[in-house]
Structure 1
């Protein structure tokens, strides 16, 4: 049984490493990709402001936001000297450290959903920068505003069908990826994000099972009438392995 994650090898992390240690064969089926906006002026102005200390706090909600900022010259070490950086989970914290941050960022204790983050995030007043993907919606910005923050929201990247435009892609190209033609009935598909669930609904082929990571992905899958075997109880190898043992 092969476990196929609907993301790129460049996004691989503790989930893939943990599943491989447990003896599972891993494959990558990228359904979405990520690219910089066509107009970069707002993003470049944000990077300048982060280096100058324009905001008291910076909230980063995904690793791809870090990659987009870094592609425009952002240096986290310059920002953390005068701005408190917050992230939504350990995966984003690892990418932040990979790009030169040395301070431990704020992150929620358990619930990394928008509601969970907002419940735990320190209240304002104060100034806060919120770069996000275009598909993120308004929930975080609205919630932070209600908590007293003066929020500067900037689109850092767009989610597109794989592959992204080469001159604007956030992730490096990789030749060891699958297409839907490579998927067999013995495979298990792991939907890693709501956008992946929507793309899989358009291209789905018969497989042993489809698993979702996280409630937002589960909801997106159900909205598109996907037949889910289960939703992982935690967004890590242990949570996915628990589901696999019941298949």
Structure 2
């Protein structure tokens, strides 16, 4: 999915571009309202800052909406109710006041595109129905079964109750079992690139997973680097990665 980010502040734009890229989005960034209005990037959704150097973002929103039904999410430090109301009345589909996390923004993008029925740019052409994504098949790693569709896991046929974050952590490690994932990679993917809490929260979740899975050998530590998921008793090289579907 292609996004157009209209934002002049590098301190905001660069982390957003990098963070959204990790979620599979292609981000085209411009710094001014004029550049946003003349962009030929054919985006599927616009992320619009309001404090632009050449014109007010509200005027950009008005101009965009006058000529296109493209979804627009405003991202701004203006958090007053009057600003939010003005943006929404001018045609914005959502309004996010800074600061916010990339994970929340991704959730808002997905919600807006579902609500507006926006389709990704490019083939199969304008107006073509979007293909429904295939439901992911459960992943089996030795006695461990991970069902991402239902967010359930079983070990040797026994269902194990995990918190949402514990499940996300396990599912992330299971994408490439046996591979070492750095602490930063895990924090960015499972928490947020802008998470500012204590890093020990990762260790606490790993400890909880080891306990609930019934064997600390499921998640091993690569000292000074991070963690890997392994099947106890099997070499890491013998564990195939999840098959893309």
TM-score (structure 2 length as normaliser): 0.34
TM-score (structure 1 length as normaliser): 0.34
**Higher RCO, Cα 8 Å, sep 6+:** 1
